[in-house]
Amino acid sequence: MIEAVLFDIDNTLILFDETKFFEAYISKLTPVYVDVFSPEEFYKRLIGGSRAMLRNNGQKSNADYYMNTFCHGMGEKREEFWNRFERFYDTEFDAFSDLVTPIEGVSEIFNEIHEIGLKIVIASHPLWPERVQQIRLNWAGLDGFPYDWITHIENTKYCKPQVEYYQEISDSIQIPPEKCLMVGNDPVNDMVAGLAGMKTYLVTDAKEQGFESFPMSQEIREQVHQPIPNPDFTGLLSDVPYVVAKLLSSS
């Protein structure tokens, strides 16, 4: 019997070219720091922060890990830099919705699962603050949905593709991994949930519509030390309710 359904966001609930999105994001964000860092230095720190999160071993929040690296040698500026990011997210981030295509029927799928009484978790890479996860969920047509848990940079101590990221979610929602279904488009980042004991559903909407995922670096792949089990299910996002019904009836 499953009790919770976890969803990735990028190319699972919204479709977009991740490389193009990232380039647009960097080009808008770089000027925010132009008085402090050269564009090259800023890029190095921004990427360095997300790489550092891969080494997080659960001792500190991802936000701490990220900001320690981003602010290296400038610790006294940490709060100011955090505020610069927040201001940018509050005022400029929503404009990137132009680069994103929502998938029709997402809110109906969520309502259906919610009405059955299952928990709904947003298990999107916790690189972003909660505010940004919310904005991206709004792009998917899910404004105001009563989520049970959303992972973000401040409430997580692991990130994808660490298996511990999924164990941490299971602990946070107090539902064992065996009673969770993870839905996502990425064969590594999302399907690694199978190693934690979760059921997995690999969605193919993005692939079928030609939206490109961010190329995964060797460094990220090396985070997974065991073979990733094949997905339990593969198909379109619109079939999630069928998969849920199947899992509920098989128990």
List residues binding Mg ion (CB under 5 A).
8, 10-11, 185-186
Q: How far is the CB of 186 from Mg ion (least distance, A)?
A: 5
Cα separation, 56 vs 1, in Å, equals 32
Q: 17 vs 186, which CB is nearer to Mg ion?
A: 186
Which residue of the chain is nearest Mg ion when measured via CB? 10
The least distance separating Mg ion from the CB of residue 22, rounded to whole angstroms, comes to 13
10 vs 17 by CB, closer to Mg ion: 10
Closer residue to Mg ion (CB): 63 or 122:
122
Between CA 118 and CA 30 the distance in angstroms is: 41
Q: Which is nearer to Mg ion, 67 or 180 (CB)?
A: 180
Q: How far is the CB of 107 from Mg ion (least distance, A)?
A: 19
**Closest distance of CB 41 from Mg ion, Å:** 29
Cβ at position 190, least distance to Mg ion in Å:
6
Nearer to Mg ion, 11 or 170 (CB): 11
User: Quick one: which of 220, 207, 168, 141 has its CA closest to 61?
Assistant: 168
